[in-house]
Every structure is written in C-alpha cells, then in structure tokens.
Structure 1
Amino acid sequence: MTARSFIPAAERLPLRIKLGNGVGSIAYGVKDNGFAVLLLLFYSQVLGLEARLVGLVLLVALLLDALIDPLVGYWSDKTHSKWGKRHPWMYGAILPMAAAWVMLWHPPAIRSDWLYGYLLLFAFLMRAAVSCYEIPSLSVVPGLTSDYDERTSVTRWRFIFAWAGGLAMLMLAFGVFLVPSPRYPVGQLNLDGYGYYGWTGGALMALAALIAALTTHKRIARLESVPPVHLPLGQTIRKIGRTLANHAFLVLLATTLLNYVNVGMTFSATTYIMTYYWEMPQAGFLAYSVSLFVGVIGAFLLIGFLQSRIEKRVGAVACMLVSLAFGLTPYLLRFAGWFPENNQPLLIPLLFTLITISNGMAVAGGMLTQSMGADIIEASQERTGERTEGLFFSAYFFTQKCATGVGIFLAGTIISASGFPAKARPGDVPLAVLDQFAFYFVIAVAAISLLAIAAISRFPITRADHERRIANLAASGQTGSGPP
C-alpha cells in the first residue's frame, strides 16, 4: 500500500468540518455571481462596450484558463509538503484572487479598444487565481469521508454557502451599491456602485477562503509517507488521458457542461430580463435575490431529507425536470397572454414563486450531481490503483467554468441577435425586440436542459456499486480508519 492509495473511512463528519469546508465556497459564489450576473452588464451597458464582444472576451479569457486548470489539478495531486497536497495551493491563492477581483471592477479611463484588453487580462487572472484555490478545495471533499450519503451532506453545505455568498453580494449590489443617484438615475448603471461592489467582494472572498483552509488544515494537511512519482511529459499526458477516460466521469462531465452553459446564459441574461422584460423596480431586484436564496434553502432541506432515500441519479433527473417546467412557465404564459402585465401587483409574487421553485430544484439537482463526482474517485482508484482527486476535479471545474463562459457568450449573442440597443433605458426598448429576446432565451434554455437531463440519466454508479467498491478497497487494505 502507498500513501496515494489511502482513502478515508466511511464515517460521519463533525459539523464544524462541514461548515468550515462550506464557507470556502463563498469565494466561488461571489466570483460566479459577479461574472454571471453583473460583469456583462457593467462592461456593456455601463462602460459602453459592445455586448457580443464583451461575451467573446470573457470566453477567450476562459479558453486561456484552459492552460491552468489541468496543471493545477495534476500538480496538486503531486504536491508533497508538510501541509499536504491541497493546502499550499489554497493559502497561496487567497491574496491574488482578491486582488484580481478588485481590479476587474475598477477599470481605468482608457479607450474602448484598450478596455477590451484590460477586461481580458483581469478576467483571466481572476479565473486562474480561483482555479488555484477552488480545485484543491473541491479535492478536499473525497478526502474527508468515503460515505455515500455523507459526501452529499458535505456538498450541500458547499452549495448553500456558495449561493449565500453570491446572493449576499447581489443583495448588497442592488440594495446598497447599485442604487439611483443624482449622477446615475438608473441604479443598475451606477458606475461608482460597481467600485464599492468590487472592494466588498474581494474582502469577503479572502476571509472565506482563509477560514476554510484553516478549518480543514488539521484534519487532512499532512506529509504523506511516500513521495509522488513524476513521469516524463509524454507518459504523464497519456496517463491523464487514461484516467479521465472513465465512463461515469464522462457522463458527469457532459451533464456539467450543459448545466453550466445554462447557468451562465441564464444569469447573464437575468439582469436584462429583470430590467427590460419584466421592468422590475429596485425593490424587485432585492425580492429576486431573496427568492433565489429561499430556493437554495429549500434545496438544502429537500436533499437532506432525500439523500439516504434515493439514488443520486434518480433524484437529479427528477429535480432537473421540475426545475425546467417551473422555469419556463412565466415566459410561456406571457407568450400566451395569460401572465400579469408588468404594472400589475400580481406580477412580482407570482413570478418570484415560480423562480423560487425552479431555482431550488435546479440547485437540488446540482447538489446531487456534484456529489456523484466524489464517488468517481474510488471507481477510478479501483481501476488505476491511484487517487487523483485533483485531476478529476480540475477537469470538472474547468468544464464548469468553460461552460459558464460559453453561456455568457450565448447570452451576449442572444442580446445582440435580438437587436438590443446599447445604454437602453427600461421602457424604451421596442416590444418586438423584447419578445424576440425572450423567445430565443426560452428555446436555448429548454434545449440545453433536456440534453443535460438525458446525459445524467446514464450515470452508472449506484449506492450499491459504491458500497461494494469501498468494501473491496477495505479488503485490500486501502481504507483508513479516520484522520491520521
């Protein structure tokens, strides 16, 4: 037995470990929410850049990030230090991550063509710094426990903190920072507010990441007895390819790709939809943020109740179908003329009830899907004899980010294809443009969601498979009895 084949016991974890590990997801939640909801709006409507080109720049930054994620995953698997594999990366990424975030929201007063370059630079640096933190942080999860249901519990806490961080910043944005002023009568176009948003987000990300690293440090940060084996580059690439050519992982990767294309597209389009299609007042944006978090809490409670009663695959399919149905309902009813008009009092409660249910079920499906990722680690270990959490989660995380970038690009494309004017004011956009925008959006969401549901329905690892595998590894002496 080598240190690389060690897996943790199938045990329940102390609540403080789950909370501490979950808190670190706040950093990713802040970043993801900012990129998905506000960044396209900030650089296009506030700074005046072309929406399609902003989406393209963000996509290019993400493709450059492709050079970072696999390396971080592989190198973190091979890191050999007294702080273990993951924690040196987590500590080292904190300050660069916060600094890049602040710079992203404080662009200099330069020509438009230079501003595209500035956005590309700091979008890339931000994504690279997040990779250096989030991939090792995700890779910590399978090392905490090998219990089938407990991994779902850990994942639930990561999700709720990620959403809490992102939505807390969203509520601060719309409730405190992006409010009307004499200089900026439309709150969402308040340039000064975006600067305060950047400083606050950077501080919150740094604090959350530090807490998570310190909480899990004592439990898993250790010098392993056997140093990792470093192979020549060619052999390394072939080995990475063989490891990732895992059927269960490819199914999960396809599902993740499709789901996060939808996430990126939906959240990038949401500010446009809320501002121009539904013509939300300022209070409506706060209500929207609250409704999203209510849905996340509902997902957290629902999965807590169901996790020991269902297969992850079955639950994910059911949740995603319900989410799609409730998410499309407001638009389909509006197309049919059966939904309240924008000035009617019933609009906000009805719309946000449907959004709450749709988002909650989508998050519940995401919790189960990400939990499946931890179960792939032992399936690969059984076949290869090695644990490569960093490699798997780097591919998972890169796919997540890449898909979000594609989604943001699609949102920019839909906005441009519908003929949306730059620096538009609510109420001034022609109805034909808004209807075309909503129609393109609904078609894209429905098609991508159905493909994702079809993909995850083919995930092959069941509870019985996982428990048999853990028993086999235990019989071969490859499980641990707890933290060293």
Structure 2
Amino acid sequence: MTAGNAPAIPPIRRIRTPVMLTYGFGTVAYGVKDFGFATFLLFFFNQVVGLPATQVGLAIMCALLLDAFIDPAIGFLSDRTRSRWGRRHPWMYASALPIAVGWLLLWNPPELGKEAMLAWVFVMSVIVRAAVSVYEVPSQALSPELSADYDERTRIMAYRYLFGWFGGMAMMILSYGWLLQGTADQPNGQLVRANYPGFAVAGAILMVVAILVSAIGTHREIGRLPKHESAPAPIGGHFRELLQTVRNRPFLILMGAGICYYSAQGISFALSSYLYAHVWRLEGHGFTMLGLALFAGAITAFIVAPIVARRTGKRAAAMGFMGAAVVLISLPYVLRLAGWFPDVDSPAMRPLLFAIFAVNGVCGISSTILGASMMADVVEHSEARTGRRDEGVFFAGAFFVQKCCSGLGILASGIIVDMVGFPTGAKPGMVPVATIDRLTIVFITLYAVFGLAAALLYTRFPFGKAEHLARVAALAEGGGAREGVL
C-alpha cells in the first residue's frame, strides 16, 4: 500500500445532535417508500386494480433483478466519486426529483389491460427503487465515515432507524386516518381507488423534504469526512476490487442474517393489510392507535439498543432481540388460534394487541439497528485487509438485501394469498374463518423460520468492540493493512 493510498480513518468522536437529527431525518424518505411498497403495493394492484396477487408479486420481484446491478453499481461509483461536495452528497441531492416523479406515477396508473398494467408495475417499481438507491446507499455509507467510535455507530444507526420508522408510521397514520378514508358505498377506504392520488402526493412531498433536509443539514460535514484517494484502474481491476470486498466473511454473515430477517419482515409487511383488517378487524381509529404503538416501539428501541449493546456487545444483543421478536410477533396469533386471546369485540383485545406489537417493535428494530452498526464496523475490517474504504459497496449490499427480501416477501405473500384461497375485494367479516386461520398459520411459521435463522447467524459474527478499536488504532498508525483474520 503506497503512501498516496494510505487509509484515512474517521475520528473517534461523538456527533453533534443537530447533525444527527438532520442525518437521521433523511431516512423518513425510505420509511415512506418502504411503507408503501411493503404494505399497500400488492394490496393496491390486487384488491383495488384487480390483478392476480401472484402475478403482481412476480412483477415486483422481477424489478429486483435490475437492483442486483443497480445497488452495487451505485455503491461502487459513490465510493469513487470525487467532487467538491465529496463522495456522497452529489448522489443524495440528485435523487430527490426522480423519487417524487416515480412515486407519483406508480400510484396513478392509466387504464390499461392486464399485461400492460403488470408492465407498469414493473417499470415504475424499477424507477422508484433505483431512485431510492441513489439516495439511500450514499447516505448509509456516510454512517461509518462520520465516526469510527464503536458505540457511537450504534447511536448513529439508532437515529436512522428512529426516523425511518417515524416516516413509515407517519405515513401509516396519515393513510389510515385521513388519506384512505372510506365512503358511504365503501367503508374500507383502502379499496377506494380515488384515494390513492392523494396518498401518492403526500408520500412524494415527505420524501423530497426529508432528502433535502438531510443533504443540506449534513453538507457542512463534508470537509470533516475522511479523504481516501484511489489510484485509477482499468475496468477489470475495479471488478476484482469489488469481488475482493464482498468476499469479506463478517460482511457475508451479516448479509445472510439480513436475508433471513428482511424476508420475515417482507412477508409480515406485505400481509399486514390482510391480517389487520381480517384477523383483528382494525379500521380508522384502530390503525391510528396501531401506528402510535409501533412508533412507541421505535422510540424505545432508539433508547434501548445502544444501552444493551454497550453492556452485552452488539452480537449478543442482536441475537437476543431477534429471538424475542420472533416470539412476540407470533404470540397473539398463536393465542388466537388456541382460543386464549380476547375476541375482536372485547375491550381488552386492542390494548393487549397493541402492547405486544409495541414490545415486538422494540426487539425487531433494535436487532436491525445493531446489524447495521456491525456493518459499519466491517468497513475497517475490510480496509485492514485491502487498503480500501468501501462503505458504499457494503451498504449497497445490505440495502440490496433489504429491498430484495422485501420483494421476495411481496412475491411470497401473493402466492400465500392465492394459495389459501383469499377472495379478491373481500370485506372484513366476510372471509371464512378457515381461510383466515390458514393465512395466519402460514405467516407465523415462515416468520419463525426466517427470524430464528437470522438470530443464529448473528452469533457467528467474528469480532466485537476490543478487536474493532485495536484495528482502528493500527490503521491510524498505518500498520494494519492486510491483516490475516477473515
């Protein structure tokens, strides 16, 4: 490693709260997008537009094939961007307009035949996902650049996930409480197609504001970010560097855990509209209270995850939180199937349900915060071996897994909905109990399998705080390159 290619290490520092607030606020955009995709995209094109659920899920899944190339390319190019605005901010600023346009078009399809409508779903999904990647991959790559401190990185990720959940929950409360209100002819406002243009406009505004606030609010940090100049290389050399980077063992472990967790989450989110409406009979005010309960879980995770990680280490904390999330999300459904949960008409049902969902949110969100924090620590582990800082590549991989598994969840959910014989345009209370029970059993089984696999993989992560700090110190002294530990 030459002096011109010497590693530049972020300072071990605590980030100022105003910077953390604006940095974290940018994930509101991803929260809005993820809520729309995970909760309503399959439901809208299946139950409202009238396309077969399996075909909608397949169209969304096919859009992910392009993401296999788009996300790593953005991460790789972001790592190698050289401008007076640094490596990340040009991408962040450029993403705002494409995200808004793609989002508006996605939820406002013209009158088309079935095949053309499926093509619309595919193309618009690609545009929205690619535009979100242009913001989210460079934005996530900022997190290990802001500070090399082991515990501060958990705090950084806690802010990101807090605002991400705030965006999703704010959109949820707006949607169920205002944007998707029912009519005299159709009390279930989610089935009223005329509601979705307003839904699209509100989401587009929230995403653009979040992106610009975050990019502008962190702009002054550009001069404090580490500088890492890489020598020009032919395209073949770039591909070899990319392969060398992604073969990092801790990275692969976290990718495996992410595949499992986000597959479980994708199925949960995609089926939530069916489960909330038909199992728990939620409507209007009930959805508002659910959103508040889930956001209370996100706030608690923001506080709890860093504290637990400092005491037990990120690896053990992530595993414990993930295992608890599996138990908690399954609990009300198992109790209902056993006849031990309060009936939907009981005044005790909703408070108990929302309390369980809130605690489950604490555990699930804490687990993802710690997984992302460990991913930030992988940057220095890789730099010690390769002499390169590849934040964009690592977080592009993590982001691709998140989006891919969300798409897999939508595809699987579409297959599940068709497999259990769930009727199109069904009104709550009109679906046979046996059909709802089949949907419930498949859901909790798949979630448990994927969730427990994620918890097991977290235990295989190979290093903790002491190893990370020693590695940062060695890199700062210029003596840590090419370490043999994988």
Interval of TM-score (by shorter of Structure 1 and Structure 2): over 0.9
Q: Tell me by how many angstroms 1:236 deviates.
A: 2.0
Does the CA contact (< 8 Å) of 2:423 and 2:431 recur in 1? yes
d(CA) in 1 for partners of 2:159, 2:226: 28
Q: Tell me by how many angstroms 1:231 deviates.
A: 2.4
1:308 equivalent in alignment to 2:314: no
Q: Tell me by how many angstroms 1:392 deviates.
A: 1.0
Quick check: 322-331 or 141-150, which moved more?
A: 322-331
Equivalent residue in structure 1 for 2:120, among 115, 118, 137: 118
d(CA) in 2 for partners of 1:140, 1:300: 19
Equivalent residue in structure 1 for 2:146, among 127, 144, 147: 144
Q: Tell me by how many angstroms 1:254 deviates.
A: 0.4
d(CA) in 2 for partners of 1:223, 1:282: 46
Aligned to 2:95: 93
Aligned to 2:484: none
Aligned to 1:47: 49
Aligned to 2:462: 460
Equivalent residue in structure 2 for 1:248, among 229, 236, 250: 250
Quick check: 44-53 or 295-304, which moved more?
A: 295-304
d(CA) in 1 for partners of 2:192, 2:336: 30
Does the CA contact (< 8 Å) of 1:76 and 1:136 recur in 2? yes
1:153 equivalent in alignment to 2:155: yes
Change (3 A) 1:225 1:252: closer
Q: Aligned runs of 1:230-241 on 2, under 5 Å? A: 230-241=232-243
SS of equivalent residue, structure 1 residue 230: coil
1:319 equivalent in alignment to 2:321: yes
State the Cα deviation string for residues 2-24 of structure 1 (Å, max 9, x = none): 46621111111111111111011
Equivalent residue in structure 2 for 1:14, among 13, 16, 19: 16
1:83 equivalent in alignment to 2:85: yes
Equivalent residue in structure 2 for 1:60, among 57, 62, 86: 62
d(CA) in 2 for partners of 1:174, 1:12: 39
Q: Tell me by how many angstroms 1:102 deviates.
A: 1.2
Does the CA contact (< 8 Å) of 1:181 and 1:187 recur in 2? yes
Change (3 A) 1:468 1:418: same
Aligned to 1:28: 30
Q: Normalising by the residue count of structure 2, what TM-score does the alignment of the two structures yield?
A: 0.95
Amino acid of the structure 2 residue aligned with 1:29: G
State the Cα deviation string for residues 321-367 of structure 1 (Å, max 9, x = none): 11111111111111111111222222111111111111111101111
Flag structure 2 segments of 5+ consecutive residues without an equivalent: 482-486
Aligned to 1:204: 206
d(CA) in 1 for partners of 2:408, 2:160: 24
d(CA) in 2 for partners of 1:300, 1:227: 35
Quick check: 167-176 or 348-357, which moved more?
A: 348-357
Q: Tell me by how many angstroms 1:193 deviates.
A: 1.8
Aligned to 1:287: 289
Does the CA contact (< 8 Å) of 1:28 and 1:130 recur in 2? yes
Does the CA contact (< 8 Å) of 2:10 and 2:226 recur in 1? no
Aligned to 1:474: 476
d(CA) in 2 for partners of 1:411, 1:359: 21
Q: Tell me by how many angstroms 1:221 deviates.
A: 5.3
State the Cα deviation string for residues 385-431 of structure 1 (Å, max 9, x = none): 11011111111111111111111111111111111111111111111
d(CA) in 2 for partners of 1:286, 1:189: 18
SS of equivalent residue, structure 1 residue 201: helix
SS of equivalent residue, structure 2 residue 448: helix
Change (3 A) 1:4 1:271: farther
Amino acid of the structure 1 residue aligned with 2:433: L
Q: Tell me by how many angstroms 1:303 deviates.
A: 1.9
d(CA) in 1 for partners of 2:205, 2:479: 44
Quick check: 175-184 or 148-157, which moved more?
A: 175-184
Q: Tell me by how many angstroms 1:298 deviates.
A: 1.1
Cα RMSD of the aligned pairs, angstroms, is 1.7
Flag structure 1 segments of 5+ consecutive residues without an equivalent: 480-484
**Sequence identity percentage:** 39
Q: Normalising by the residue count of structure 1, what TM-score does the alignment of the two structures yield?
A: 0.96
Does the CA contact (< 8 Å) of 1:83 and 1:223 recur in 2? no
SS of equivalent residue, structure 2 residue 253: helix
SS of equivalent residue, structure 1 residue 476: coil
Does the CA contact (< 8 Å) of 2:315 and 2:459 recur in 1? yes
Aligned to 1:166: 168
Amino acid of the structure 1 residue aligned with 2:296: V
d(CA) in 2 for partners of 1:226, 1:353: 47
d(CA) in 2 for partners of 1:66, 1:246: 18
Amino acid of the structure 2 residue aligned with 1:285: F
Q: Tell me by how many angstroms 1:447 deviates.
A: 0.6
